[in-house]
Amino acid sequence: MSNKVSTPEFGPLHGVRVVFSALEIAGPFPAQMMAEWGAEVIWIEHTKYPDTIRVMKNYRELARRNLHSLSIDIFSEEGKKAFLKLMETTDIFIESSKGPAFKRRGMTDELLWEHNKSLVIVHLSGYGQYGEDQYINLPSYDHIAQAFSGYLVQNGDGDQPVPAFPYSGDYISGFMVLSSALAALHNAKRTGEGESVDVAMYEALLRVSHYYMIDYFNNGTLYPRTTKGKDPTQVGCGVYRCNDGCITMSWVGGPQIRRLLEVLDHTHILGTDEFPEGIPGIRADSSQGQILEDKLDAFFGEKTIDETLELLESMTIAATRVLTIPELESHPQYIARENIVEWDTLSGGKCKGSNIVPKFTKNPGQIWRSTPSRGMDTASILSDLGYSDQEIHALAEVGAVKLAD
């Protein structure tokens, strides 16, 4: 009945085994990135409640590709034994819960280390494994973490706060899980000692929220929220409307400031105390901030996107048109770098979406499998752990595991 678990050999993470028990994006994303870079990754789903991502017909094909599916009740008596056996063969275990749920149920870090002392455990939660009782057991998703971290209040337009879609809070938290897991793995390989990492989503966002708000902590300065896509601190950074659509640019760098000031006929401000020659950026709250923003709006508003981009490129000012989604697929840069690819789904269809990133030159990633159905690999994973076909069926009968849907 059960074939062996098999993962093709490729990528920088070949030979690393990752297991995750998490829903949606923030926890699964880092594990699945590792699968794209060659790790053998096992996705644990509850025997009763499938991962909520399964309702997203197309996105799930991207978000769970390259994975092995194990459906197991890890807190049932028999399921727990199998899970702990699995931990013996695992390098990184990622779990996402309402706070310290694993500890609450007796599945402590210490217990996991009894089975594998070099195991890297990453606990992902909204508010952390410890803190105020009122918060640590609460559920959290992207916008909740954005709101609790000071990230959301900075985004939007004028009076209206708007979360940074699509789900930046999940992906930023996911990248924190990814990087901390790999840092801990590096150390575990060096010392033989595992690690337990406590990633709170709001803290991951707090860490990347500071560009503007550090001025509040240090001088009490609060910047206005972004308005019409403009950076609240720097002139010339953000979205500008040309007469046929929008561009975005970042007017930074000493030579770049001078060049565009020349075109705007505004170089007289240079060489003053406020704007010394070579100044690399002009602050929005400076004496010239609003004057220059108005000039830029008027200047670009009379030009086409192509004229504007040609001019900015000639001054080495970073800028681009704001691409629409239909423009991406046929864009020559996307074609040259094979950014959008198609792969076969296991249900016999096709899915089109992002290729593997980044591009590891010597050990490239691969898409070798689309999203498995729930429990599709339960039997082969248990068989690898030493369970006989009979024992696997017995586990399924008591509901500790679920075989293929």
Give the residue among 39, 30, 20 at the shortest CA–CA distance from 83: 20
Using the contact rule CB under 6 A, the part of the chain among 136-144, 154-162, 247-255, 380-388 near ligand COA is 136-144
Map the footprint of ligand COA across residues 185-224, applying CB under 6 A. Answer: 201
Q: Does 96 bind ligand COA (CB under 6 A)?
A: yes
| Closest to ligand COA by CB, 72 or 282 | 72
What DSSP line would sit under 221-289, residue for residue?
--PPPPBTTB-SSBTTEEEEEETTEEEEEE--SHHHHHHHHHHTT-GGGTTSSSS-TT----BTTSTTH
Scan for tokens 């210490």, then name that residue. Answer: 110
Whether omega for the bond prior to residue 30 falls within 30 degrees of 0, making it cis, is: no
Active-site residue 170, yes or no?
yes
Chosen residue from 2, 12, 46, 107 binding ligand COA by CB under 6 A: 46
Q: Does 44 bind ligand COA (CB under 6 A)?
A: yes
Q: Does 112 bind ligand COA (CB under 6 A)?
A: no
Using the contact rule CB under 6 A, the part of the chain among 118-126, 267-275, 339-347, 356-364 near ligand COA is 118-126
Q: Does 66 bind ligand COA (CB under 6 A)?
A: no
Angle ∠(132,138,141) on CA atoms, nearest 5: 125
Q: Least distance in Å: CB of 343 to ligand COA?
A: 23
The letter for the amino acid at 48 is K
Is the separation of the CB atoms in 153 and 143 below 8 Å? no
Q: Does 97 bind ligand COA (CB under 6 A)?
A: yes
Q: Does 67 bind ligand COA (CB under 6 A)?
A: no
| Closest to ligand COA by CB, 65 or 295 | 65
Q: Does 69 bind ligand COA (CB under 6 A)?
A: no
CA separation for the pair 199, 108 (Å, rounded): 16
Which among 170, 198, 244, 306 is annotated as catalytic? 170
Helix spans in 315-375 (H)? 325-329, 332-336
| Closest to ligand COA by CB, 86 or 261 | 86
Q: Does 126 bind ligand COA (CB under 6 A)?
A: yes
Longest Cα–Cα distance of the chain, Å, equals 85
| Closest to ligand COA by CB, 98 or 115 | 98
Is the separation of the CB atoms in 279 and 257 below 8 Å? yes
The letter for the amino acid at 206 is L
Q: Does 170 bind ligand COA (CB under 6 A)?
A: yes
Interface residue list for ligand COA (CB under 6 A): 21-27, 44, 46, 72-75, 96-98, 101, 124-126, 139-141, 170, 201
As annotated, the active-site residues are: 170
